[in-house]
Copies of this chain bind each other. A is one copy, B any other.
Amino acid sequence: MRTGEPDAETDIPDTDPREIPRATVARLPEYLYALHTLAEAGHDTVSSNALAAVAGVNSAKLRKDLSHLGSYGIRGVGYDVTLLTRQISHALGLTRHRDVVLIGVGHLGKALAGYAGFANRGFGIAALFDVSPEHVGTELAGLRVYHMDALAEIVSEKQISIGVIATPTTAAQRVADSLVNAGVTSILNFAPCILDVPDNVDVRKVDLAVELQILSFHEHRKSQGSANEKKGDE
């Protein structure tokens, strides 16, 4: 167990990614995006307050988060936008371009394949896969759709380490197994199920319906809480 040491001196060589708290990691991409926005708006430097406002978080939290990167702001001024962008990108491992494979070219797969947000932020889709003869061999967003049989070969050839599952739930575990077999070590799963994978494989799940259910809870809370606070706005 490592407690915070009382030195505020020179101890920031290369940040060990394992020491960045999970909650911080989850926010770094938001900061990155906010910095991008600010850079485009012509800002060279930004204070923790301003950046926190754009990213939608508390400024103390932001500073603490950045402190985990060993990042250097300038007291009295703020952070250099370009430098901070580079530091966060480095911490997230985005300096090296990471291509992904996408499995399933149904509605969601199509949306993901055409999603500019991926390419914009350092992720290219290396190849698309499906099993349906209807899709295999076609082209989508400038990418050929391969049969799953070709997965291992392409993953290994292009050194892919991340796979995105956009298949129906019933196929998800099978696809995950194939991905793991092919050598993929991170999976983004859009199917609403728990994937069984080896310990060295990271899985993140995005369930669109879950988000709505959480909003439903908030609606429930509002309608139960106070029936008197209503904003008249027409």
Interface residues of A (CB under 8 A from B): 16-18, 20, 22, 25-26, 28-30, 32-34, 37, 54-56, 91-94, 98, 100, 106-108, 110-115, 117-118, 120-123, 161-162, 164, 180-181, 185-188, 192-194, 198-200, 202, 204, 206-225, 227, 229, 231-234
Contact = CB atoms under 8 A, between A and B. Distances in A.
Nearest to A94: B216
B199 A231 contact: yes
Nearest to A120: B209
Contacts of A218: 186, 202
A110 B33 CA distance: 25
A214 B25 contact: yes
Given A117-B192, A225-B16, A206 B206 contact: yes
A111 B16 CA distance: 39
A208 B92 contact: no
A127 to B, nearest CB: 16
A154 to B, nearest CB: 16
Contacts of A234: 22, 181
A204 B213 CA distance: 11
8 contacts: A28-B213, A37-B193, A112-B208, A118-B212, A123-B212, A181-B233, A200-B231, A204-B214
A137 B7 CA distance: 65
A30 B205 CA distance: 11
Nearest to A169: B117
Contacts of A198: 231
A92 B217 contact: yes
A18 B209 contact: no
B55 A194 contact: yes
